[in-house]
Amino acid sequence: MRIAFLLLALLIGVHTFAILKEDNSKNHQEITRMAILRATANVCKSVGGFKETDILNVKTLAKACKKEEFTKNFETGIQMISYYNVITDLEHPGSAKHHFDNEEFVDGKALITNGKQNVINSIKSNKFDDARKALGEILHTLQDFYSHSNWIEMGNTKPCTALINVEENIPNPAGKDTVTCEECSDTKCGAGILKDIIDKKILTSGYFGRTKPKGKCSHGGTLDFTTGIGKSFDGINKDYSKSSHGGQHNDAAKVAIDASVQLLENILKSIPEGGKNFLRYREAT
C-alpha cells in the first residue's frame, strides 16, 4: 500500500509539443497531466476499495485514492511538474539534446536517464521539490522524442523503452552521413522522409536552427530556417495538428502519454517500499 503514495508524494505540496493551446492538438501540459493521472490511478489500485472512474481528473482520482482532502494540493503538484516541463523550452530553446533535434539521440537519452536517477535520489532524500523539477524537465525531453523523430512515421505504436533504460541501445539511429530526407527545390524541402529510411526503420529527427547537413530532415516551424532562406518552414515535427506532419500529431501525443506513464512507473519501481517519505504528502500546504 505504501508504494501507492509515492507518486502522490511527488504531486502534493507543491519548440516542441505546443506550450500554448492549439486546436485539435495536445500540448505538453495536457500530455503531462494525463500521464500523471493515469500513473497515479495505476498505483492507487493497490489501495483497498479503489474504484475505476469513467472520467479521470484530479477530483475523481483523489476520491478514488481516498485522498479527497488533498485535491487542491494534488492539482498544485501537477501544475508544478507541468511548469518545469514547459520551462525547458524557455531555458533550452536551442539545445538539440533537450528536444531530440539534430539526431541527438545519445545525449538526449543521457538527459533522461541521468534525470531519472536524480528524481529517485531526491525522493529518497525527501527533497520533493527537486524531484518535481527534475521530473518535469525529463518528461519534456521524453515527450519531444515522439513529435520530433520519425518513430511514429515508422509505424511504432508503443514507446521506445531504450530512452529510459540505461542498458538498452538506441534502435538503429541514422549515421551522420546518412541521407534521411529528400533534397528538393520546392516548398516541401525538409518534410519528405525517404521511403528507404522508413522501410529500414532507421531512426532520425529534424534539424532545427539556421543550417543542417545536406540530405538531413528539417524540424520545421516558423523559427526553423534549415530549409533555406526564402523556402517554406516545412519539417517532420508533429508538435501540433497543423505541422507539416501534423496528421500524425495525435498518434505522437498518444505514445508520448504512454511513454510518460512508463517513465513514472519505472521510477516508482526503483524506490524501496520502506521509509517515511512515502507519506510526505501530508505535509503539503
pLDDT in the model for residue 45: 78
Question: What are the two backbone dihedrals, phi and then psi, of residue 267, each rounded to the nearest 5 degrees?
Answer: -65, -45
Residue 144 has pLDDT above 70, yes or no: yes
Asked if 108 contacts 208 with a C-beta cutoff of 8 angstroms, the reply is no
How sure is the predictor about 218, in pLDDT bands with cuts at 50, 70 and 90?
very high
Per cent of the chain over pLDDT 70 is 82
How sure is the predictor about 191, in pLDDT bands with cuts at 50, 70 and 90?
confident
Residue 104 has pLDDT above 70, yes or no: yes
Residue 161, C-alpha cell as written in the block: 523503452
Q: Please list, in sequence order, all residues whose beta carbon lies within 8 angstroms of the beta carbon of residue 135, skipping any fewer than 6 positions away.
A: 10, 81, 84, 115, 119, 267
Evaluate if pTM is beyond 0.85. yes
Mean pLDDT of the chain: 84
Residue 89, C-alpha cell as written in the block: 523550452
Residue 114 has pLDDT above 50, yes or no: yes
Residue 55 has pLDDT above 80, yes or no: yes
Mean pLDDT of 59-66: 84
